[in-house]
Amino acid sequence: MWRVILVDDEEFVRAELAALFPWRRYQFELAGEAESAQAAIAQIAALQPDLVITDIRMPEMDGLAFISWLGRHHPRLVVAVVSAYHDFPLVREALRLGAADYLMKAEATATTAGAFLERIAGILERRHSSRHQQEELTSNMARYHRLATESFWRDTLTRASDEPELESRARQLGVVLEQAWFGLIFIHVSGERSGRLDPVALRRELEAQIGTRWDWEGNWKLIDFGRGDFAVLASRMGPRPAAEAAAKLQEIAGRLALNTAEVKRTTCASSELCPFPDLPRSFREVRQVNLLRLYHREGECIETGELARLRQAAPPSTLELLAAWERILREAEPAAVHHFLDQVFAAILPRSLSPEAARGLVLEFINTLRRVSLEYQVRWEEGGSGEPDLPEILEQAESIQDWRIQIEDRVGHYLRSVGANAHPQASATIRKALAYIQLHFSRDLSLEEVASHAGVSKSYLCRVFPEYAGEHFRDYLQRLRLERAKELLRFTNDHIYEIAAKVGFWNSRYFSKVFHEAVGMTPADYRRVPVYETSAAPGLKAGEE
């Protein structure tokens, strides 16, 4: 219903008009009456009308002054006038001032009053529709800007786009990078309750808690990376901040940590503030520090120095560990396999390797297992799970025991297959070929070179290779390269052209084409962590960018 205030200084005229107009037939409600413009002004705030019908000739503030006042203070209100024949010049002036329609009192009948309301209803409908469309467009533009800005910061932190492109996007979004300094708080949320919260609710809850704990001189924005990973991007303008600024972020990170039966919130903060070009390095560092939660550190605030101390520890010999692992796999004794894994996951990984290095070693264990499995003609598809995206799985782990499960599942299938099928071990030729490919797949490698190393002809190796690998040499080589590319895209901040070169593609454009055909997305899109699209308000202090 459209709400109306009727204004006329003559009470009997107001009463006649109020009774004459067929309000409800045209979805109107007479919300109030006023004997003067001043009385009507006093009612507007309380009654919130959509339409004001006013006389022109009134004492003190006349109808024209009233219409002019409404145009300045309530531009969304529709105004119509009722007046006498001899007032037509004034009616014309009222229309010039913004009145939408008029009705001559001498012509006021049930029919003309109904037609008058019908015209006004049409004007209100069109204005409402136009206003709604404008508000929706404004809302959509604001939402797009928020999502585009958050996407910009995600791509900046993960280096999913190169620096010139990011600087261009920053200009388009109005993000100021000159003389800006940035700090980061990385937050990982896990636990039973966090899994029950939808992404929007989880984000809003986190934003509310950050807001109540934020006493840092500068703005903040919450960036959602999905899977319970968030980064608080803190920023301030001006000269390089003192060390106390980073120490204050560490204090806030400590207040955001949470360890309850239902929710565990692991936090850490960057050790110093940095300019825009150094943000990917800073983000990688805080993410690596936060990974210490995998070593049974969930629900704590972890200091950056802890990772540095772990990196300084004497590391084990990776070559010796891999050689021992391969030997145990060939012996195919379950007890020996499990004893080896006990030693690795209890004594070696958490005490002498950073989570990043430990994850790399786990990947090497699985790659070695793949190669040995091929020698015994064990196919991974027979394990019931195929070969899912391993970097993705390892990144979702909540503890190093989750990594161990990934190895044990594959080892279990391998041991059962070797014991049940008793396939003969591959010849020394195949073993040498597979090992050589594993070692040199990242450079320009040909079948002829591999055959020469294995001591056989190219044609012979071409014929027998698919029997063990399950695919031709070129397909096998490309798969190894793409698997390694996935690891580098997920776990490093290397530029995409650098990754292409590291895995044996000397043309980054060709690498992107091959990657897209095999994986179904570009390398840049694969690097972009899947996130949930939310409608939560962006976490900027005082609404600032």
Q: Which of 281, 297, 312 is the last residue of a domain?
A: 312
Same domain, 472 and 337: yes
Same domain, 292 and 336: no
Tens digits of per-residue pLDDT, 415-433?
888 765 544 455 778 888 8
Cα 380 from Cα 372, distance rounded (Å):
12
Tens digits of per-residue pLDDT, 241-264?
999 999 999 999 999 998 888 888
Instruction: Find the range with the poorest average confidence among 123-137, 278-292, 506-520, 526-540.
Output: 526-540
Closest CA to 249 of 204, 310, 182: 182
Same domain, 428 and 502: yes
* Mean pLDDT value across residues 38-62: 92
Q: What does the radius of gyration of the chain's CA atoms come to, in whole angstroms?
A: 36
Does residue 542 belong to any structural domain of this protein?
no
Q: Are strands 2-7 and 51-55 parallel, antiparallel or unpaired?
A: parallel
Does residue 148 belong to any structural domain of this protein?
no
Does residue 144 belong to any structural domain of this protein?
no
Tens digits of per-residue pLDDT, 155-209?
999 888 888 889 999 999 999 999 999 999 999 998 766 666 678 888 899 999 9
Strands (E), 284-414: none
Cα 222 from Cα 536, distance rounded (Å):
10
pLDDT given at position 536: 38
Cα 526 from Cα 468, distance rounded (Å):
30
357's CB contacts (< 8 A; 6+ apart) are 315
Decide: pTM greater than 0.85. no
Does residue 165 belong to any structural domain of this protein?
no
Same domain, 297 and 326: no
Domain range for 97: 2-131
Same domain, 307 and 341: no
Tens digits of per-residue pLDDT, 444-466?
899 999 999 989 999 999 998 88
CATH code: domain of residue 56: 3.40.50.2300
Same domain, 458 and 330: yes
Identity at 450, one-letter amino acid code: V
**pLDDT tops 60 at residue 385:** no
pLDDT given at position 372: 87
Split into its structural domains, the chain has a count of 3
Strands (E), 13-61: 28-34, 51-55
* Mean pLDDT value across residues 98-123: 90
Alpha helices in 98-242 (DSSP H): 110-158, 163-173, 192-196, 199-213
Q: Which of 244, 278, 312 is the last residue of a domain?
A: 312
Same domain, 390 and 521: yes
Same domain, 389 and 410: yes
Does residue 136 belong to any structural domain of this protein?
no
CATH code: domain of residue 502: 1.10.10.60
Q: Where does the pLDDT of residue 434 fall: very low under 50, low under 70, confident under 90, or very high at 90 and above?
A: confident
Same domain, 358 and 471: yes
Token pair listed for 437? 């490919």
At residue 236, what are phi and psi to the nearest 5 degrees? -150, 155
Cβ atoms within 10 Å of 511's Cβ, excluding its own: 22
Are 150 and 536 within 8 A, CB to CB? no
Q: What is the mean pLDDT of the chain?
A: 86
Does residue 278 belong to any structural domain of this protein?
yes
Same domain, 303 and 344: no
Residue 274 is given by DSSP the state B
Strand partners, 185: 232, 269
Cα 476 from Cα 473, distance rounded (Å):
5
Cα 293 from Cα 354, distance rounded (Å):
11
CATH code: domain of residue 249: 3.30.70.270
396's CB contacts (< 8 A; 6+ apart) are 227, 402
Does residue 155 belong to any structural domain of this protein?
no
Cα 304 from Cα 127, distance rounded (Å):
58
Instruction: Provide, rounded to the nearest whole percent, the portion of the chain with pLDDT above 90.
Output: 51
Cα 31 from Cα 387, distance rounded (Å):
69
Does residue 232 belong to any structural domain of this protein?
yes
Tens digits of per-residue pLDDT, 491-537?
888 889 999 999 999 888 999 999 999 988 899 888 875 544 333 33
Same domain, 505 and 373: yes
Same domain, 190 and 288: yes
Are 270 and 282 within 8 A, CB to CB? yes
CA atoms within 13 Å, Cβ hemisphere of 16: 11
Closest CA to 184 of 250, 104, 87: 250
Q: Which of 312, 330, 357 is the last residue of a domain?
A: 312
Burial of 283 (0-12, 13-18, 19+ CB in 10 A): buried
